[in-house]
Amino acid sequence: MTDPNTPTSSPCSNECAGDPAKANAPAVAAAATPAAPGPINPLPGTPTPVAQPAVPEPAWTNVGNAADWPVNGGRLVKLGARRIGVYRNNGKWYALKDYCPHAGVSLVAGPVHEAQVMCVGHGWTFSLEDGRCTRGAPGMRTTTYPVREVAGVVEVAV
């Protein structure tokens, strides 16, 4: 049995195990891992966060087979009262409201080039990406809709 009042030859306990090199080495603190942050105390009067409802998945509607579309062009699709031009250009799909904001001419009959469609009415052009007027009256735009191709089927969400 060891007397706790009796000095030992080493200041260490078990770590040195009698090794004089270790006994004279400065103590090294164990590498501490940062503690995980605790809960943040809100300021008094701060409203408690409320969980937001999940954004619902848009309702996709089958509008036809991709094989029926021109490689770089559009087709008119009617969804309820909506007339939508669905375009394929350079492998990407686009859907625009089929209504020129200048004078109401159908856009889908116009030529498609570089992700733009030209209105056959007076030659204004519209971005298929976001519906902006790119030639004619900057600031005007037409509505766009989500569109996708799934297993050869074109779908539009309204």
Q: Give the footprint of ligand FES on this chain (CB under 6 A).
A: 100, 102-103, 105, 119, 121-122, 124, 136
**Cα 81 → chain centroid:** 30
Q: Which is nearer to ligand FES, 64 or 121 (CB)?
A: 121
Q: How far is the CB of 100 from ligand FES (least distance, A)?
A: 3
Query: Residue 38 corresponds to which tokens in the numbers above?
Result: 């605790």
- The minimum distance between CB 120 and ligand FES, in angstroms, equals 7
For ligand FES, the closer of residues 63 and 118 by Cβ is 118
Count, residues in the chain: 158
Contacts of residue 90, Cβ cutoff 8 Å, sequence gap at least 6: 72, 115
Smallest distance, ligand FES to C-beta of residue 79, A? 22
Residue among 22 and 122 whose Cβ is closer to ligand FES: 122
Residues 66 and 151: their CA atoms lie apart, in Å, by 9
> CB-wise, 86 or 133, nearer to ligand FES?
133
Alpha helices, DSSP H only, in the chain? 20-24
